[in-house]
C-alpha cells in the first residue's frame, strides 16, 4: 500500500466570507480524486465557516497554533480550541512565520509537539532561502529544521512534511522537477536514519512553492513527492486540477 497523496491549500491572509464560501462550494461540487487527502487552511476567522460548509472527506487546518493550552497569550489559538471546532490539522513552521515573525526551530518543534499531543495532524514546513541554496546548504538547512522536531517528537505518523524552498514561494519561480525530487529523496533518507525506516516509508513529503495546474503533473510523478502544499493557486478553481494531478 503506497502513501496516500495529500494536497493542502494554504489561503494565508486572503479571502473574506464571500470568497471562502465560493471556494468551499467549488470544492463541494467538484469531482475530486477519492484517493487524495485534501485539507484547506483558511484564515483563523473563517475556520468554522469552512468546517461547517465543507463536505465530509475534506478537512480543515489552522495556519498556526500555540504551544500552551490556555492563558494570557493575546492573539494565539490553542490545540483544544481547534479540536473543539472540528479542525483536525495545523500548519507549523511556514517560512513566512520563520522569517517575518522570527519563529526559531525550537519554537516550531514545541508547537509541533503540542499539536500532536493534543491529537492534531501537523503539516510541518521546512525550506531554504536562495542564498542558502546557492551556497549548497539546502539539505543542511532542511534537516536542521527537522532535527529540532525529532528531538521532542518520536512518533511521526501524524506529521506530513512540506518542503517549500523560500525562494519559490509566491515568486512564480518553481524548483525544477529534478531539484524538488532530489530534496525529497534526501529528506526521506534523513527520516530513515534519524527516525526509522518505517517513518521514511510512511511519511508523506509534500512540495510547495508556486505550485500551479501547469507544473503539478510532472511533480506528481516523482517517487518521493507525495502531494503539494499550495498557496495562491488554492484560492482559484484550478486548485481542483492540482488535487487531481496524480490521477490525470
| Active site (catalytic) residues | 94, 164
Q: How far apart are CA 35 and CA 3, in angstroms?
A: 10
| Cα four-point dihedral sign 98, 102, 104, 109 | negative
Q: How far apart are CA 177 and CA 169, in angstroms?
A: 15
| Cα four-point dihedral sign 71, 157, 231, 57 | negative
Angle between helix 177-194 and 138-150 (nearest 10): 40
Asked if 3 and 220 touch (Cβ cutoff 8 Å), the reply is no
C-alpha cell of 194? 534519524
In the chain the beta strands, taken as DSSP E runs, fall at: 6-10, 37-41, 58-62, 89-92, 121-126, 159-163, 205-208, 227-230
Q: How far apart are CA 76 and CA 61, in angstroms?
A: 15
Task: Tell me which residue of 220, 143, 140 sits closest to 180, measured CA to CA.
Answer: 220
Asked if 45 and 75 touch (Cβ cutoff 8 Å), the reply is no
Amino acid at each position: 500500500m503506497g502513501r496516500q497523496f495529500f494536497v493542502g491549500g494554504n489561503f494565508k491572509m486572503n479571502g473574506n466570507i464571500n470568497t471562502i464560501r465560493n471556494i468551499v462550494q467549488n470544492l463541494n461540487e467538484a469531482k475530486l480524486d477519492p484517493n487524495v487527502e485534501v485539507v484547506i487552511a483558511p484564515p483563523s476567522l473563517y475556520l468554522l465557516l469552512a468546517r461547517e460548509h465543507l463536505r465530509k472527506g475534506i478537512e480543515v487546518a489552522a495556519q498556526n497554533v500555540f504551544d500552551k493550552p490556555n492563558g494570557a497569550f493575546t492573539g494565539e489559538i490553542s490545540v483544544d480550541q481547534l479540536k473543539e471546532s472540528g479542525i483536525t490539522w495545523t500548519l507549523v513552521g511556514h517560512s513566512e512565520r520563520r522569517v517575518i515573525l522570527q519563529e526559531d526551530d525550537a519554537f516550531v518543534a514545541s508547537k509541533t509537539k503540542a499539536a500532536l499531543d493534543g491529537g492534531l495532524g501537523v503539516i510541518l514546513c521546512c525550506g531554504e532561502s536562495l542564498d542558502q541554496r546557492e551556497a549548497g546548504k539546502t539539505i543542511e538547512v532542511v534537516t536542521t529544521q527537522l532535527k529540532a522536531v525529532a528531538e521532542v517528537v518520536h512518533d511521526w505518523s501524524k506529521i506530513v512534511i512540506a518542503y517549500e524552498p523560500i525562494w519559490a514561494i509566491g515568486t512564480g519561480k518553481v524548483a525544477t522537477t529534478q531539484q524538488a525530487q532530489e530534496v525529497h529523496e534526501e529528506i526521506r533518507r534523513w527520516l530513515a536514519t534519524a527516525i526509522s525506516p518505517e517513518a521514511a516509508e510512511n511519511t508523506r513529503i509534500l512540495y510547495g512553492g508556486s505550485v500551479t495546474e501547469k507544473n503539478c503533473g510532472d511533480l506528481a510523478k516523482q517517487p518521493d513527492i507525495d502531494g503539494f502544499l499550495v498557496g495562491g493557486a488554492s484560492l482559484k478553481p484550478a486548485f481542483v486540477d492540482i488535487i487531481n494531478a496524480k490521477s490525470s
